[in-house]
Structure 1
Amino acid sequence: MPFVVGLTGGIASGKTTVADLFHQNFAIDIVDADIIARQVVEPNTEGLDAIVGKFGADILQDDGCLNRRKLREKVFSSPQDKQWLNDTLHPLIRSEMAHQVELAQSDYVLLVIPLMVEGGLQSMTDCVLVIDVDEETQITRTMQRDNVSREQALNIVNSQANRQERLAIADEIIKNNGHTDSLLPQIEALHARFVALRKNRQQGTL
């Protein structure tokens, strides 16, 4: 069983940047919940078949792929439909995350779950790494990256778990309020720690 480091953080915290640096510098395998969430609703999947069964074929684009805009509109206007969608897709996403984790070959595997706190998914990890930024930095980055208003950015930040809730589940923390150059020294130190933790676990099971 691979040693699993769960990586999480709020919007615009730098999760992708951090995960990419672990991969580029230390060849660490990455399992990304957001990517899997798209995979489980691709054509000819159980997830997409269930959505079509629920909402009809007009939820599809002409090429047979899910029309995400239409789906968002449907679940936005109906809490019941949103709950149904979550109940249908979350088990599929979780199962696929576990499957991909099992296939990992690196010293440890990074399991990137943006909504880890909200979903209580820290149970899938051996260690939780939180990318921590202050709220004002999140808002500014979101406005610049997504070309949205301050109000829209603030609404997104407020819709997620707050900073204190994420830090409460953290075993390790990366501070990312500054420039990307400040990340690599933190990542190098954490890589050594994660390798040591994995070795300790292996020795403990011998």
Structure 2
Amino acid sequence: MLALGVTGDVGAGKSTLTRFWKEMGASVLDADEIVRSLWKRPDVIGKAVSRWGRGVADNGGNILRGEIAARAFSCAEDYAWLCGLLHPLVRIEMERISASLEGWVVAEIPLLFEGGVPEWIDATVYLAAPEEKRRDRNSVRGWDGKEILRRESFLLPSEEKKRRADMVLENTGTLEDLRETAGKKALFFRRLSGLVRYTVTFQRYEDALLYRDFLWKERLGSDFHCFRSDTMEKNTENWLVSFISRESFFAGLSRPHVMDRARGPYTATIRRMPYKKRIALSEELSQ
């Protein structure tokens, strides 16, 4: 699994970017959507009412998001309190959902760096956009330039978040320009998420080496390990070849004649791998 954390400027188009990636095959987790579900929990509503009074909820006990925002962004203390209430719950729910996913996973987390990058996130993407475009996008929410600046004053500076991100994307053009950028990155991320570990068992060490050399020459495998495995039968031995390859290469891994006397390949999903190592291994394999 490859898990990406996506964040960016206020109004940069994060939701649009993740929507494009969902259409292109990613499993998408939305922190804002989880927050909306949390505001339906009586315990969460009760804590907000206890702090700010009945004015943050309607007569039916439903939270009024505009009232919550007005209070949370009024001072640093209230903002920190709200973050302390919601963020741990959001992170727990995201991690719970991600544990059942495979392949390419995208988590849209507006306060990704402010709250700390979760351990299960492999790489971070920061989406930036010019101030004028962000003002236009946020106008439908009734936010003017001053409101955007007020909200951003509670966040880390954009340049600092760009510095921390593994990848920075610029949303400076049209919607189709962003879709094109998303498409190019989608191909890259799908390749990275398609890496798996295979294991093949041979009875002879020489066959194991022949198979390893074949994979290396054809660029079908990388990160090889060849080791002896104990067996229950006397005077017999097994040699295991373990390697990284693409899931899409499965059919081609059984081509060499030496595989007639082998068992496998068996596939193991890679849940975690350092992002830079994943890129390096992917580049060693055929595209």
Instruction: Give, in whole Å, the separation in 2 of the partners of 1:39 and 1:181.
Output: 31
Residue 78 of structure 1, CA deviation = 6.1
Which residue number in structure 1 is paired with residue 12 of structure 2?
A: 13
Identity %: 23
> Please, what is the CA RMSD of the aligned residues?
2.9
User: Is the CA contact (8 Å cut-off) linking 1:47 and 1:92 kept in structure 2?
Assistant: no
Secondary structure in 1 aligned to 2:137? helix
Which one of the candidate residues 159, 162, 170 is aligned to 1:167?
162
Give the 5 Å matches for 1:1-206.
2-24=1-23, 26-44=24-42, 46-54=43-51, 59-76=56-73, 79-105=76-102, 107-121=103-117, 123-142=119-138, 144-200=139-195, 203=244
Count of residues in Structure 1 that have an aligned counterpart in Structure 2? 201
From the two aligned structures, give the one with the greater strand fraction.
Answer: 2
User: Is the CA contact (8 Å cut-off) linking 1:43 and 1:64 kept in structure 2?
Assistant: no
Alignment CA distance shift 1:13-1:82 (3 Å) = closer
Give 4+ residue runs of structure 1 displaced > 6 Å after superposition: none
Secondary structure in 2 aligned to 1:177? coil
Secondary structure in 1 aligned to 2:60? coil
Q: Which has the larger radius of gyration?
A: 2
Secondary structure in 1 aligned to 2:21? helix
Which of 1 and 2 has higher RCO (CA within 8 Å, sep 6+)?
1
Instruction: Give, in whole Å, the separation in 2 of the partners of 1:201 and 1:166.
Output: 31
Deviations 1:125-157 (A, max 9, x none): 101111122334323433x43344433344344
Alignment CA distance shift 1:54-1:147 (3 Å) = closer
Alignment CA distance shift 1:182-1:37 (3 Å) = same
Instruction: Give, in whole Å, the separation in 2 of the partners of 1:168 and 1:56.
Output: 40
Residue 194 of structure 1, CA deviation = 1.3
Alignment CA distance shift 1:80-1:161 (3 Å) = closer
Alignment CA distance shift 1:97-1:79 (3 Å) = same
